[in-house]
Amino acid sequence: MSAVLLGGSGRWTDPWHPFAETNAAVTALAASAGVELEQPEDVDTALAACATGPLPSLVVVDVGLPRDDRPVPLTDARAGFHRLLASDVPLLVLHVAATSFADDPHWERALGGVWERGTTMHPPFGPAAVRVVDAAHPITAGLPDFTLEDERYTHLRVSPSVRVLLDHEHEGERHPLAWVHERPGGGTTVYDALGHSAASFASPEHRAFLTRALAFLLR
C-alpha cells in the first residue's frame, strides 16, 4: 500500500488550524522528496481498513481532535488504529496531532509524548526560535538553528526514552519540539510539534528537517 496522509478533514478538524493548507503543504513537500502521499477521504474509514488489510508503507498524521462526542477513533476503527501503532510502519506526526487521540495510552506510547490538558500550552503564534539539540542525528546533522513563524508547544508530556532533535526556550526553560521515538512494536515515530500553518512549511530549515525525517523513516 502507498504512503498515506491521515489529514484533517471532516470531523478531524478544529476551528484553530488550517488543515487544508497544512495537508497540501506536507503533501507537496513529500512529493518534492519523491514520496507520494495518498490522503483518504475519511480518517476513520482508513483506520478501520488497517484492522485486517495491508498496512501502508508510511503514515503521516496531521489531524485535529474530533469534538462531536463520538469515540476517537470510531469504535470500528480502533482495532485498525491499534494494529497500526503496534506495527513497524514508520510514522511522521505533526503539530496538533499530539492532542488528537486524547487519553489513548497506545497513542502516547507510539508517539513518545502528548499534549497534556491543563499543563501544555503555547505562546502566541509568531516568530519561533528553534534550536538543534542533537547535531549527531541524520535528520539534524548540519542543520542550523532557525527561526520561523509558528506556535511553540510548551510543557508537552514527553517520555524520557525519546531522542530529542529540536527544542525552544520559554521563560528560561528548554522544551522539546521534535524527537525520534523507537516504538515498543519495532516501528519508528518522528514527531514534529511545528507546522501550525503553511507559513511553517515556508521555512527552508523546517522543510529540510521534514525532508530528512521522511528519508530517515523510509531508510
- Whether residue 203 has pLDDT greater than 80: yes
pLDDT, average across residues 190-211:
98
Could you give the percent of the chain with pLDDT greater than 90?
96
Range of the domain at 151: 3-217
Average pLDDT, the chain: 96
Separation between Cα atoms, residue 94 and residue 194, nearest integer Å: 7
Q: Give the distance, in angstroms, between the CA of residue 172 and the centroid of all CA atoms in the same chain.
A: 26
Number of domain units in the chain: 1
CATH number for the domain that contains residue 90: 3.40.50.880
Q: Grid coordinates standing for 47?
A: 483506520
- Whether residue 28 has pLDDT greater than 80: yes
pLDDT at residue 189 in the model: 98
* CA 154 to each of CA 52, 117, 142, 176: distance values in angstroms, whole numbers, following the listed order: 37, 12, 25, 8
- For residue range 55-65, list pLDDT tens digits in order: 999 999 999 99
- For residue range 69-118, list pLDDT tens digits in order: 999 999 999 999 999 999 999 999 999 999 999 889 999 999 999 999 99
Phi and psi torsions of 134, nearest 5°: -120, 95
Q: Grid coordinates standing for 49?
A: 481498513
